[in-house]
Structure 1
């Protein structure tokens, strides 16, 4: 499972309905900002606005960006990643690992030379001049939030193209790097709306960059990438400004409960202190995450083994923050499994 969240495949495997799966593999907010009733009056007859004017205005109110910066919308952050790298056609791509696999996958398709830098041990390592660097902040799968000032200076000194993926930044009390685009026109910021707003089925992501860079990117983009339903739902969600602080407080509380559940299980020798809506944990004694997944199948619990993240192996697991009832169920199931059951 390359991305997490494939509850349909998992449900078929264990013989249950998808809605019966308790999915800790996909780090999506368990609460939505608005419900689907907001879509009842959406007109499906005319084509949607190909300029996405209403949605762009709502995004700019929620995520202010300065003059000289523009936005391009995509059918999810993954689509934004692929479109941007196809447009840039980088020769040297620097990936700060671990990070999720979309970047490495498209790098292979574009025949880039990939340079991996281990964030945990070599954060300030030298990079090739004029390369394209990709940094996810807060990071995944560990959720660490970085102060990027020193790295930005290093990248700019090397004349790099910089891509900062802020898909999980909304869960943190932290500022976007977007303001820096005014001072460096080779900086791109990627954001996802589905994760924070709890609507994985509404596929909307976007890129912020210098106006000229967005104009160049837009040359290869089709019209009507988003449906009227997508846009109507997200405009309503963005208008719920009280949801932002409510979600941040709730996530911090539930993340603490999840950390305690993982710690109490006795299965893990390290739990990373993430600041997003998930936690990374390492099984003790080189334990096998796939073995743990099998042992959790009777409880209909799906987890995320992180061996396809560069630099990690199958002893690393990522757990999404869920509601209190779900976390309590996970805690009980982990205790039943026992500390010795997943040892190699």
Structure 2
């Protein structure tokens, strides 16, 4: 193919490559270990409603019933919610709604890659503020850049992926107050953080956009249900570049059922995940040369003396984790907190590898 056919902002991009996974214990993508259809009431309701769901009709373009259920969950109005195919689509919609070529997008690093990728595709200039040692965000430097650059878009992941760090709401508000433009707060992992959502401040900030998902705490990564929460006129703007039928009927159905049973699902899924996360962090921090950073998400970022060797040791034990090649994450592994038996296996591999080092 003639490379000149490509949009110039993606000519140097490498195709997204998902490495082949041979291991059977896969804890590299922050997926939940819990299947929503293992809840008898959920499964029964799904099968009942599935019989009444025709495949030949297009889905509701704005998923109105799911939109209302999600609004009830996060305590806002339905018109302040936009549903999409995962948080990734919501982030793409935000960038495509607001960013012109040459605009500045402010992030910190390390954080979720998609913010910078989508911004670069749109032709934006991405400014990244490095974290402090220990993967703590440099709040002072970030706020200084916010005030100086007045970026067209600002992204903050809270809790942050891949570090797990949680920012206080007071700081998030300080960033909102410093910017005249949209500030995106990605709360994909908030259910594990035991902190209130910035959505509670929605009425005070017309530049606030919150990204949420049902992929993590609700275990619906395969259904691809994400949503944005913002003031009504912002939601209407985000709807402009949206594909007409962006969320299929089955995802809308399961999302509604998940919201109807949300208390039971969260009570079942979240506490053991947090307990496993803390067990994993404490066990790994007890090992010499290993640092497992504090996390408010469903994963732990771990620094080891020899990352590739640890990844290979885990692979030999039939365990797949996320390993990073980026300079600011050198020798770091991100390990999803799933079940306690998996965490015990991971800790045993670390113990054995460290003892042989």
TM-score (norm 2): 0.83
What residue number does 2:240 align with?
219
Give the 3 Å change call, closer, same or farther, for CA 194–5 of structure 1 in structure 2.
Answer: farther
Give the 3 Å change call, closer, same or farther, for CA 141–167 of structure 1 in structure 2.
Answer: same
Pick the aligned partner of 1:189 from 210, 219, 225.
210
Aligned residues of 1:5 and 1:25 also touching (Cα < 8 A): no
Q: Please give the secondary structure, in 2, of the residue aligned with 1:45.
A: coil
How far residue 102 of structure 1 moved from its aligned partner, in angstroms, is 0.6
1:24 aligns with 2:27: yes
What residue number does 1:85 align with?
95
Q: Which runs of 5+ in 1 are unaligned?
A: 12-19
Give the 3 Å change call, closer, same or farther, for CA 160–48 of structure 1 in structure 2.
Answer: closer
What residue number does 1:9 align with?
20
Which whole-Å CA distance do the structure 2 matches of 1:104 and 1:51 have between them? 27
Pick the aligned partner of 1:272 from 281, 289, 293.
293
How far residue 106 of structure 1 moved from its aligned partner, in angstroms, is 1.2
Could you tell which deviates more after superposition, 25-34 or 163-172? 25-34
What residue number does 1:115 align with?
127
CA displacement 1:164-206 (0-9 Å, x = unmatched): 0000001122111113231221111001111111121110101
1:60 aligns with 2:82: no
Aligned residues of 1:161 and 1:187 also touching (Cα < 8 A): yes
Q: Please give the secondary structure, in 2, of the residue aligned with 1:201.
A: helix
1:298 aligns with 2:277: no
The count of aligned residue pairs is 323
Aligned residues of 2:324 and 2:332 also touching (Cα < 8 A): yes
Bigger helix fraction: 2
Which whole-Å CA distance do the structure 2 matches of 1:5 and 1:64 have between them? 38
How far residue 148 of structure 1 moved from its aligned partner, in angstroms, is 3.1
TM-score (norm 1): 0.86
Which whole-Å CA distance do the structure 1 matches of 2:85 and 2:314 have between them? 33
Which whole-Å CA distance do the structure 1 matches of 2:189 and 2:348 have between them? 28
Q: Which runs of 5+ in 2 are unaligned?
A: 1-13
RMSD: 2.5
What residue number does 2:271 align with?
249
Pick the aligned partner of 2:62 from 51, 59, 63.
51
Which whole-Å CA distance do the structure 1 matches of 2:137 and 2:166 have between them? 16
CA displacement 1:66-87 (0-9 Å, x = unmatched): 58x6111110001111111111
